[in-house]
Amino acid sequence: MSLSIADLKRQNLILLEALSGSRAYNLATPQSDTDLRGVFILPPERYFGFTYTEQVCSERNDHVYYELGKYLKLLAKNNPSSIELLFAPKATLLYQHPLLARIRPEPVVSRLCRDSFAGYALSQVNRAKGLNKKIFNPVTGTIPRPIECCHIIEGDQSIAAESWLNAHNMQAGRCGLSALAHVRDGYALFYADDYEGDDRCFNGLFRTDAQQAPAAPSQDLCLSSIPKGMKPRAWLVFNKDGFARRLRDYHDYRLWEQERNQDRYQGTLAHGGGYDAKNMMHTFRLLRMAKEIASTGQPLVHRPDRDELLAIKSGQFAYEDLLAQAAQELLEIDQHFATSTLPDAPDTQQIERWAVEIRTAWYRGAYGADSSLPLS
């Protein structure tokens, strides 16, 4: 049986709970939701048994709680979300168990933050580019058909198969295909009118059986048994890879239409920049936190550059200018990390010791929820 957030609270399993997202970053607006992030510990029977749960989330994934083991493993990777929890401003902390006072930043923060923060920031740029592509290159119309990727070879030209058939008053269903040896996706095309026997002997260009759903057209042409002595009308080439790509793009776009955040999408259209401005805002937030880590050893979760970040979110800057600025800030990050005194990687042995100490203390019942714990 899976655990819910209500179970964690009812069984007093939560070790840390804090505001996250815009309310932690000092970027909240009247429209902002209240996101929560935290850490919990499993009861012994679940931890030692077969029902280990590493994460519990709300239905909308706006409330996320990591099991102690996962949280510490994320810290050992310098994961941004876990680092932000480690440096959560006191004003955002809703609850913190004294046992978590054992976890200190010094063994955790390392040069890995360059890639974990800045690398993730660049992924946000790519996401913004992806939305930009979808906005300006919508996949409209009906589902692609295989014949749209078929061409007839005539001399040194290729002619769209559908146009060629229409020009010759031929029907796709009365055609027969035979694969050409040594020619990838190349076929000899025959026509039923040229056969003196049963004119239903050919299978047509494409599958038409009842099992082939119209929403998922076959990606293969249909071959026929060609009577001996028949001469082909033409040579046909099927761009199978091109058709598969068009079909994939069509379904990806339809899925994106169904799942996209409508408010953010409409906001993107409204500011006219053609990019996901919220992703770009987080790009710069993460880049600047990476620079702060390289310079001071800790990020500023509560952002002092609120006005500028919200201006980016509202689409006040040209997309190309933001990309150029991000590239410049990444260069500065690399310069700061080049002279940083941070260790190359976290002290995973110390982080693992914290896991053992905290879990042992909890399971032994040595410390209650209201007890104090001296630092080691």
Give residue-wise pLDDT tens across range 128-141: 555 455 544 566 67
Q: Does 11 lie in the same domain as 102?
A: yes
Q: Is residue 361 part of a domain?
A: yes
Q: Does 150 lie in the same domain as 221?
A: yes
User: Please, which pLDDT band fits residue 366 given cuts at 50, 70 and 90?
Assistant: very low
pLDDT at 166: 95
207 has pLDDT over 90: no
Q: Out of 223, 248, 273, pick the residue that ends a domain.
A: 248
67 has pLDDT over 50: yes
The predicted model gives 350-363 an average pLDDT of: 95
Q: Distance of CA 126 to CAs 145, 264, 320, Å?
A: 30, 16, 13
370 has pLDDT over 50: no
Q: Does 187 lie in the same domain as 99?
A: no
Q: Out of 199, 217, 248, pick the residue that ends a domain.
A: 248
Q: Is residue 197 part of a domain?
A: yes
First to last CA, the chain: 37
pLDDT at 129: 55
Q: Is 201 exposed, middle or buried (0-12, 13-18, 19+ CB in 10 A)?
A: middle
The predicted model gives 171-178 an average pLDDT of: 92
Q: Does 96 lie in the same domain as 164?
A: no
pLDDT at 264: 47
pLDDT at 20: 97
Query: Strands (DSSP E) along the chain, which ranges?
Result: 14-20, 35-40, 55-57, 63-67, 93-96, 150-154, 157-160, 175-179, 186-191, 234-238
The predicted model gives 282-297 an average pLDDT of: 95
Residue 150's beta-bridge partner residues? 238
pLDDT at 149: 93
Q: Does 103 lie in the same domain as 9?
A: yes
Q: Which of 344, 343, 376 is nearest to 361 (CA)?
A: 376
pLDDT at 348: 97
> For position 70, which CATH number holds?
3.30.460
Helix (H) or strand (E) holding 104: none
Contact between 331 and 341 under an 8 Å Cβ cutoff? The reply is no
Cα 239 to Cα 257: distance, rounded to the nearest angstrom = 27
Q: Does 242 lie in the same domain as 151?
A: yes
Q: Is residue 8 part of a domain?
A: yes
pLDDT at 199: 57
Q: Is residue 221 part of a domain?
A: yes
296 has pLDDT over 60: yes
Q: Does 4 lie in the same domain as 99?
A: yes
Please name the residues in contact with 34: beta carbons below 8 A apart, sequence gap of 6 or more. Answer: 19, 23, 62
55-57, strands of its sheet edge to edge: 55-57, 63-67, 35-40, 14-20, 93-96
Q: Is residue 120 part of a domain?
A: no
pLDDT at 214: 46
Q: Out of 214, 231, 248, pick the residue that ends a domain.
A: 248
Q: Is residue 242 part of a domain?
A: yes
Average pLDDT over the chain reads 85
Q: Does 75 lie in the same domain as 27?
A: yes
Give residue-wise pLDDT tens across range 112-125: 999 999 888 877 66
Which DSSP symbol is given to 67?
A: E
364 has pLDDT over 60: yes
Give residue-wise pLDDT tens across range 313-340: 988 888 888 888 988 999 999 999 999 9
**Range name among 47-56, 217-226, 312-321 with the lowest pLDDT average:** 217-226
User: Please, which pLDDT band fits residue 250 given cuts at 50, 70 and 90?
Assistant: confident
Q: Is residue 341 part of a domain?
A: no
Give the structural domain span for 94. 1-108+346-376
Number of domains observed in the structure of the chain: 2
Q: Which of 190, 174, 193, 179 is nearest to 232 (CA)?
A: 190
Q: Is residue 338 part of a domain?
A: no
pLDDT at 301: 98
Residue 60: what residue type? R
> Could you count the other beta carbons within 10 Å of the beta carbon of residue 241?
12
pLDDT at 372: 43
Cα 287 to Cα 326: distance, rounded to the nearest angstrom = 8
